[in-house]
Amino acid sequence: MEQGDKLAAFSRDRSLGWLLAVVHSRAADQLDERLQKVGLNLGMWPTLMMLWEEEGLTQVELASRCMTAHYTTTRVLDSLEKKQLVERRKHPTSRRSHLIYLTDEGRALKSALIAEAMDVNDSLLSVLQPQEQQQFLSLLAKMVAAGSAD
C-alpha cells in the first residue's frame, strides 16, 4: 500500500481509538450518573464489582484485578468503608495485610446496582441485532484477553 493510500484509509469515524472513546465515555457517563443517585461514583465501581465476585482479597490483589494504583485502592476503600459498604479485616497470618470484605449492606446493593449496569449495557447494545451483540462482545472480550496476556 502506498503512503497516500494508507493516509486515506484513516478516518476519524472508522478509527478504533476514536470510536472506543465515544462509546466508552457514553457508558461511563451513564453508569456514573446512576451511581451518583445512590451516593456512589464510577471510581468505586471496579472495586464493588470485584468484591461481589470474590471477597477476602488483599488490597494488592484487589488493585491488580481492578487495574488501579495501590494508593487509589486505599482511598476508594476509605470511602466505601466510611459508607459502611466494605470492611478491612485482619489477615490471619500477616499483620501488614488486610482482607477486604463487603458488609451486609454492601452485599445487599449487588442486585440493584448490577441491574443498573446491565441496563446501561443493554441500552448501548440495543442498536445491534441480538446475534450482532454476541458477536461484538465476543470480539471485544477476545481483544481484552489477548492484551492481558502481554
Partner DNA sequence: TATTGTTATACTCTATAACTATA
Partner DNA sequence: TATAGTTATAGAGTATAACAATA
Residues that bind DNA (CB under 7 A): 41-43, 58-60, 69-75, 77-78, 88, 91, 93-98
The yes or no reply on residue 114 touching a second copy (CB under 8 A) is yes
Task: Provide the mask over 9-48, with x wherever binding to a second copy is found by CB under 8 A and - wherever it is not.
Answer: xxxxxxxxxxxxxxxxxxxx--x--------------x--
- Give the containing element (helix H, strand E) for 105: helix 104-108
The yes or no reply on residue 53 touching a second copy (CB under 8 A) is yes
Q: Which does 77 bind (CB under 5 to 8 A by kind): DNA, a second copy, none?
A: DNA
Tell me how far, at minimum, the Cβ of 73 lies from a second copy, in Å: 16
The yes or no reply on residue 119 touching a second copy (CB under 8 A) is no
Tell me how far, at minimum, the Cβ of 92 lies from a second copy, in Å: 27
47-50 CB contacts, 8 Å cutoff, 24+ apart:
47/73, 47/76, 47/77, 47/80, 47/86, 48/80, 48/85, 48/106, 48/109, 48/113
The yes or no reply on residue 117 touching a second copy (CB under 8 A) is yes
Q: Which of 43, 50, 58, 97 binds a second copy (CB under 8 A)?
A: 50
Rg (CA), the chain: 19
- Distance from C-alpha of 80 to C-alpha of 68, rounded to nearest angstrom: 15
The yes or no reply on residue 109 touching a second copy (CB under 8 A) is no
Q: Identify the residue whose cell numbers are 472480550.
A: 141
Which residues, listed in sequence order, are joined to residue 57 by a DSSP beta bridge? Answer: 100
Q: Which does 43 bind (CB under 5 to 8 A by kind): a second copy, DNA, none?
A: DNA
Q: Which amino acid is at 135?
A: Q
The nearer residue to DNA, 29 or 122, going by C-beta atoms, is 29
Instruction: Classify the C-alpha dihedral 14-15-20-25 as positive or negative.
Output: negative
